[in-house]
Each structure stands twice: as structure tokens, then as C-alpha cells.
């Protein structure tokens, strides 16, 4: 049994089964080639199958070829410090911005965790504070401020509520309850929330008063919101959003999905150098119990957090990644050096990120939308 939705990821994850269950399309070789051609280059996360599924991507390419450019929509629900795994969708969004000149619209739902989580630590005020921190983290990932807009739900609610009401009319409570596995005791704000998350998928069409295609890079746990909202969006007369759907970056302990709420499973963008070294040293590797056994039998990169982090984020060169995986398999790569190098790369990324944040601190307003 696997459970995969925005509020719970449980069990071993069978991504092929998710494709079937959710009605996604696998990302085929033909689609990849078409993307590479249009993008005039290839993205390592797509190439490596980290993005493994899609909706309406070929339709989106048709539109693009006809001169109907798309915008990109993605987001993050503040939960207390952004993790490196949570940068994935933004790195993809930035790549799409760089390659397609796409506008990027980023939603930070500062009310979502308050509504859905039972933990009283998730207050609305705290959600707002964390959301502002996330906004700076997101902006610092390299977006072009002239083409990127970030908003918090509570700050943009005058614009959002009206459109959320329009979508909500076509989404029944039983559909939401079934889709998310909510019980009768789930609150009405959590039920309504999907309407909010749906809005940015057609908001630019509302504002432009003409249909503009939208592409949503997302983790597969988010698909349910749009699966539910697609018909409603279509009934309002807007294009259904296309999507590019990713697997989860595993946790340091090889949790199938890095948990933002477990500091030992996670590297936060705010972690200092020593913390990163310490955390990476404790990471699960696919190596054998002793150095002798590892040299003799080799390890399994698929069960190795270190190898996976290279694959997901820290070694964009395929040849070098293959060498790392091969070294893990044939036993020539030892855990200590392996981890030391990864920690160094993560710290390099975090240092650059800290510097980018510092530069943006006073300029964040250039990115922010509010009513």
C-alpha cells in the first residue's frame, strides 16, 4: 500500500503505479527529444527520469510552436525552513524560464499547513512568517525579477478569492474527501483550499483576458490538487494546465521522500557548514558493512543517499555521475571520501545561496505580488 498526497507520503513508492493510479503520462523518449529540441538543450533532472511523468506536455509544445507561449506556475507550502529537496521545482522553473523565456508565478500558501495539520505549532501567523522566509529563499534561486512573481495567499487574497470561488463551484466536497482521504471531521477551510491552489494555473489567462498555456513543475504528491481542479478550470473556459511531474528526493536516511519536519533526514538551506558535514556523515549509503566487504562486493547506488543526492542535484554531468555510481557498485568508492565530497558540494551550493539571499534582502519587493 502506498499513500501519496500533499499531506501524507507513506509506503514504498511505486512510481509506475502512481502513473496508472493518477492517470499521468510517462515521460517518453519522443517527448524528451521534443523538449530538448525546443529548449535547445537538455535538463539533467528530466534526462535522468527524476521528472518521470507529465500531463498535456505535447499539447503545450504544440501551442509553443504556434507562438502561444506558456508561463510556469509552482510553489511551496511553508513548513519551517526550506530544504534542498524543496528547491527542485524552483530549479526546474528557473531552467524553463532560462530556456523558454517563461514568466514564472510562485504561490506560497501561508494558510495551507494551518488548515490541514493538527499540530498547533502551525499557526497562521507563523505560516506567514515562514512564508516570507521562503519567498526570499525562492527568489535567491536565480529567478529573473522582471519575469517572476511571488505571492503569499493571505497577501494576494483579494485577487485569489474571487477566482477560487469560481473554481470551487465545480468541485464537490465528496471529490475532495475521496481524493485526499479526508474524514468527515476535516475542516471546511482545508476542503476549500484546493480551489486556491488551482487559481494560479489560470490566473494569467484571467488577467490577460485570453487563454495562456500554463506549465506546472511539481512533485507527484501535488498532482491530486490539479487532477481535481482540471475539469473545473476547463469548465470556466480556460486551458487545463500542463504538468511536469517529479519523483521525490530521498531523505538522508533514505526515506522515500525527504521530510521537511525531520532535521536528521533533511538538509535545510539554513544549515551551516559543520551541520551539513555532520548530517552527510550520518547519511545512509548503499555500501557494505565494512571497508573489506565494500571493496569485495561493492554497494548499491539506488539505496545510497549520497549517490542519489549527486543524481538529483549535485552532479549535473552524466559521465561523472556514472563514474560515481560505478565506483559505488564496484567497491572502489569508499564512504568517507564519497561523503566528504558531497558535503563540500552541498556547502558550496548553500554558500552561494546565502550570498544570493543577502544581495536580494532589500530587493525582495521586486518579486512580490500583493493586493
Contacts with its own copies by CB under 8 A lie at 111, 114-115, 124, 153-158, 160-162, 164-166, 168-174, 176-177, 182, 184-192, 194-195, 371
The nearest distance, CB 33 to its own copies, in angstroms, is 40
The nearest distance, CB 121 to its own copies, in angstroms, is 14
The nearest distance, CB 233 to its own copies, in angstroms, is 14
The residue (of 169 and 282) whose beta carbon lies closer to its own copies is 169
The nearest distance, CB 162 to its own copies, in angstroms, is 5
The residue (of 128 and 311) whose beta carbon lies closer to its own copies is 128
The residue (of 206 and 277) whose beta carbon lies closer to its own copies is 206
Give the Cα separation of 117 and 113 in Å (integer): 5
The residue (of 179 and 334) whose beta carbon lies closer to its own copies is 179
Dihedral of alpha carbons 304, 306, 307, 313, sign: positive
- DSSP assignment string, 217-280: EEEGGGHHHHHHHHHHHHHTTPPPPEEEEE-PPPPTT--SS--TT-GGG--BTT--HHHHHHHH
The nearest distance, CB 165 to its own copies, in angstroms, is 5
Q: How far is CA 368 from CA 10, 53, 77, 154, 170, in A?
A: 35, 30, 16, 13, 30
The residue (of 27 and 224) whose beta carbon lies closer to its own copies is 224
Any residues with CB less than 8 A from the CB of 38 and at least 6 apart, and which? 61, 64, 65, 100
Give the Cα separation of 116 and 192 in Å (integer): 11
Cell numbers at 192, concatenated: 476549500
Amino acid at each position: 500500500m502506498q499513500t501519496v498526497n500533499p499531506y501524507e507520503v507513506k509506503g514504498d513508492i511505486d512510481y509506475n503505479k502512481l502513473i496508472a493510479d493518477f492517470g499521468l503520462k510517462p515521460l517518453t523518449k519522443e517527448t524528451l527529444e521534443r523538449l530538448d529540441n525546443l529548449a535547445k538543450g537538455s535538463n539533467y533532472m528530466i534526462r535522468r527520469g527524476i521528472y518521470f511523468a507529465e500531463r498535456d506536455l505535447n499539447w503545450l509544445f504544440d501551442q509553443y510552436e504556434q507562438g502561444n507561449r506558456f508561463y510556469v506556475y509552482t510553489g511551496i507550502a511553508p513548513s519551517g525552513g526550506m530544504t534542498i529537496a524543496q528547491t527542485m521545482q524552483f530549479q526546474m522553473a528557473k531552467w524553463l524560464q532560462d530556456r523558454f523565456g517563461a514568466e514564472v508565478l510562485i504561490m506560497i500558501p501561508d494558510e495551507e499547513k494551518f488548515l490541514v495539520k493538527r499540530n498547533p505549532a502551525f499557526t497562521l501567523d507563523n505560516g506567514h512568517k515562514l512564508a516570507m522566509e521562503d519567498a526570499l529563499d525562492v527568489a535567491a534561486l536565480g529567478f529573473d525579477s522582471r519575469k517572476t512573481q511571488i505571492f503569499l495567499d493571505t497577501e494576494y487574497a483579494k485577487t485569489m478569492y474571487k477566482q477560487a470561488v469560481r473554481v470551487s463551484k465545480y468541485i464537490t466536497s465528496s471529490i475532495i474527501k475521496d481524493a485526499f482521504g479526508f474524514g468527515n471531521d476535516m475542516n471546511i477551510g482545508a476542503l476549500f483550499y484546493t480551489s486556491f491552489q488551482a487559481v494560479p494555473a489560470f490566473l494569467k489567462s484571467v488577467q490577460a483576458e485570453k487563454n495562456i498555456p500554463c506549465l506546472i513543475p511539481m512533485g507527484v504528491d501535488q498532482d491530486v490538487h490539479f487532477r481535481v481542479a482540471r475539469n473545473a478550470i476547463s469548465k470556466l473556459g480556460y486551458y487545463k494546465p500542463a504538468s511536469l511531474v517529479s519523483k521525490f528526493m530521498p531523505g538522508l536516511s533514505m526515506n522515500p521522500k525527504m521530510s521537511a519536519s525531520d532535521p536528521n533526514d533533511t538538509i535545510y538551506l539554513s544549515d551551516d557548514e559543520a551541520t551539513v558535514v555532520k548530517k552527510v556523515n550520518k547519511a545512509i549509503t548503499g555500501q557494505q558493512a565494512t571497508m573489506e566487504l565494500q571493496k569485495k562486493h561493492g554497494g548499491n547506488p539506488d539505496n545510497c543517499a549520497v549517490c542519489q543526492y549527486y543524481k538529483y542535484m549535485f552532479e549535473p554531468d552524466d559521465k561523472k555521475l556514472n563514474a560515481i555510481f560505478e565506483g559505488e557498485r564496484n567497491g572502489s568508492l569508499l564512504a568517507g571520501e564519497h561523503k566528504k565530497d558531497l558535503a563540500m558540494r552541498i556547502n558550496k551550493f548553500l554558500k552561494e545561496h546565502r550570498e544570493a539571499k543577502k544581495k536580494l534582502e532589500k530587493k525582495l519587493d521586486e518579486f512580490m505580488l500583493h493586493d
